[in-house]
């Protein structure tokens, strides 16, 4: 069972009060340019977003926002990793997405009901930029190009949630775990060939949560994949045994 998130640290001021102290505007704009939702903006609009942004470091285990809180800012992850999850009555987590920098998230909450529907917690320390909701809405009314960029990002999040629902409801644990590893090799830029290896960035309890299963079930699944001659996981290293079979299992669709 995954424990509840640690209490929010009180030594760090709220995001809305974290100004860009001693941080030049140009490096912030360059960092924001790497966020896909902002990549296509003209330089002058990107500079305006940078001027509105509050940038700070986030520690591992820090809760950025909790489900039910007011969505008063748009988060932009510049470095690190953040998990988005819901917690059940028994304390178990369902991870909806692992945000990997650089990326934006929670657009639907910011521009919709104004309430975060999930909890966001840092799993790898990094850097977070935030744009106050009121300032961003004013910019959207003035500059449709920004609105179009954010609309495209919201469409991508909707597709991710649809894929998550499909994966949990229509695919077996083995298929979901295979898909996770195919994605991991793709992110690492490692060709899927026999004997190829990759170091796992995510801890096993988080891999289990992303695959919609429990850590003990994940361990059994690792052993089953190895006995089937598809994949071997030793510690934090995954080795491909049968690339064609692994990809085929990941791409399995129900009849």
Domains in the chain: ranges and CATH: 15-169 (2.60.120.10), 171-250 (1.10.10.10)
131 near 111, Cβ under 8 Å? Answer: no
What phi, psi does 102 have (nearest 5°)? -85, 135
* Dist. CA 53–CA 56, nearest whole Å: 10
* Dist. CA 28–CA 168, nearest whole Å: 38
Q: Of the ranges 20-34, 54-68, 194-208, which is most confident?
A: 54-68
Predicted confidence band of residue 23 (pLDDT cuts 50, 70, 90): very low
Q: Residue 9 above 50 pLDDT?
A: no
The gap from C-alpha 104 to its chain's centroid, in whole angstroms, comes to 9
228 or 21, which is more confident?
Answer: 228
Strand ranges inside the chain, DSSP E:
54-58, 63-65, 73-87, 93-100, 103-104, 119-132, 197-199, 231-234, 237-240
Q: What is the mean pLDDT of residues 11-31?
A: 51
Predicted confidence band of residue 250 (pLDDT cuts 50, 70, 90): confident
The predicted structure's pLDDT at residue 54: 93
Predicted confidence band of residue 132 (pLDDT cuts 50, 70, 90): very high
Q: What is the mean pLDDT of residues 204-228?
A: 89
Q: Exposed, middle or buried by CB within 10 Å (0-12, 13-18, 19+), for 229?
A: exposed
Picking from 30-34, 71-75, 88-92, 187-191, which range would have the lowest pLDDT averaged per residue? 88-92
The per-residue pLDDT for range 37-84, each reduced to its tens digit, is: 888 888 888 899 999 999 999 999 999 999 999 999 999 999 999 999
Q: Exposed, middle or buried by CB within 10 Å (0-12, 13-18, 19+), for 194?
A: exposed
Q: Residue 163 above 80 pLDDT?
A: no
Of 127, 108, 126, 125, nearest to 116 by C-alpha is 108
Q: How many CB atoms lie within 10 A of CB 47?
A: 16
What phi, psi does 197 have (nearest 5°)? -125, 155
Q: Residue 35 above 60 pLDDT?
A: yes
Q: Residue 231 above 70 pLDDT?
A: yes
Predicted confidence band of residue 253 (pLDDT cuts 50, 70, 90): very low
Q: What is the mean pLDDT of residues 160-188?
A: 76
209 near 2, Cβ under 8 Å? Answer: yes
The predicted structure's pLDDT at residue 145: 73
* Dist. CA 46–CA 55, nearest whole Å: 15
Q: Exposed, middle or buried by CB within 10 Å (0-12, 13-18, 19+), for 121?
A: buried
Picking from 16-25, 161-170, 191-200, 241-250, which range would have the lowest pLDDT averaged per residue? 16-25
The predicted structure's pLDDT at residue 212: 80
Q: How many CB atoms lie within 10 A of CB 10?
A: 6
The gap from C-alpha 128 to its chain's centroid, in whole angstroms, comes to 13
**Both structure tokens of 236:** 């934090």
DSSP 11: S
Q: Residue 155 above 60 pLDDT?
A: no
* Dist. CA 1–CA 4, nearest whole Å: 9
């Amino acid at each position: 069972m995954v424990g509840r998130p640690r209490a929010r640290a009180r030594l760090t001021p709220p995001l809305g009060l974290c100004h860009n102290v001693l941080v030049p505007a140009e490096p912030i704009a360059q960092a924001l340019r790497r966020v896909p939702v902002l990549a296509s903006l003209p330089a002058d609009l990107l500079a305006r977003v940078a001027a509105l942004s509050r940038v700070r470091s986030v520690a591992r285990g820090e809760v950025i926002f909790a489900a039910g809180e007011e969505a008063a800012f748009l988060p932009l992850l510049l470095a690190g990793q953040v998990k988005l999850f819901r917690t059940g009555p028994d304390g178990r987590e369902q991870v909806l997405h692992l945000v990997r920098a650089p990326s934006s998230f929670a657009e639907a909450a910011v521009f919709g009901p104004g309430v975060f529907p999930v909890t966001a917690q840092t799993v790898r320390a990094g850097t977070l930029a935030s744009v106050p909701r009121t300032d961003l809405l004013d910019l959207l009314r003035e500059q449709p190009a920004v609105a179009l960029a954010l609309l495209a990002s919201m469409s991508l999040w909707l597709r991710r949630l649809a894929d998550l629902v499909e994966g949990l409801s229509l695919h077996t644990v083995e298929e979901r775990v295979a898909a996770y590893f195919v994605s991991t090799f793709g992110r690492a830029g490692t060709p899927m060939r026999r004997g190829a290896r990759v170091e796992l960035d995510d801890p096993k309890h988080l891999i289990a949560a992303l695959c919609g299963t429990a850590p003990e079930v994940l361990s059994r699944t690792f052993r089953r994949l190895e006995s089937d001659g598809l994949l071997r996981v030793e510690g934090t290293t995954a080795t491909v045994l049968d690339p064609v079979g692994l990809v085929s299992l990941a791409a399995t669709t129900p009849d």
